[in-house]
Amino acid sequence: MTTDTGSPAAPISGLSVAMVTLGCARNEVDSEELAGRLEAGGFRLVTDPADADTVVVNTCGFVEQAKKDSVDTLLEAADLKSSGRTQAVVAVGCMAERYGKELADSLPEADAVLGFDDYPDIADRLRSIVAGEQHHAHTPQDRRLLLPITPVERSLSTTPVPGHASGPASLRRRLDAGPTASLKLASGCDRRCTFCAIPSFRGSFVSRRPSDVLQEARWLAEQGARELFLVSENSTSYGKDLGDLRLLETLLPELAAVDGIARVRVSYLQPAETRPGLVEAIARTPGVAPYFDLSFQHASATVLRRMRRFGDPETFLELLERARALAPTAGARSNVIVGFPGETEEELETLCDFLVAARLDVTGVFGYSDEDGTEAATYDGKLDEDEIRARVDHVTGLVEELTAQRAADRIGEEVEVLVESTDDGVEGRSAHQGPEVDGSTYLVDGDAQVGDLVRAVVVDSEGADLYARAL
The burial class, CB within 10 Å (0-12 / 13-18 / 19+), for 208 is buried
189 is in an annotated binding site: yes
Cβ atoms of residues 255 and 264 within 8 Å: yes
> 210-241: b or e for each residue (b if 16 or more CB lie within 10 Å)?
bebbbebbbbbbeeebbbbbbbbbbbbbbbbb
CA atoms within 13 A on the CB side of 36: 20
d(CA 88, CA 133): 11
The bridge status of strand 186-187 relative to strand 206-207 is antiparallel
Residue 210 — φ and ψ, nearest 5°? -55, -35
What lies within 8 Å, CB to CB, of 363 at 6+ separation is 333, 334, 335, 336, 355, 399, 402, 403
d(CA 269, CA 142): 24
352 is in an annotated binding site: no
d(CA 166, CA 448): 36
Residue count of the chain: 471
60 is in an annotated binding site: yes
Q: Tell which phi-psi region holds residue 370, choosing left (phi > 0), alpha (psi between -120 and 50) or beta.
A: beta
Strands laid side by side in the 180-184 sheet:
180-184, 227-231, 263-266
What lies within 8 Å, CB to CB, of 223 at 6+ separation is 174, 181
Please state the residue numbers annotated as binding site.
24, 60, 94, 189, 193, 196
Please state the residue numbers annotated as binding site for [4Fe-4S] cluster.
24, 60, 94, 189, 193, 196
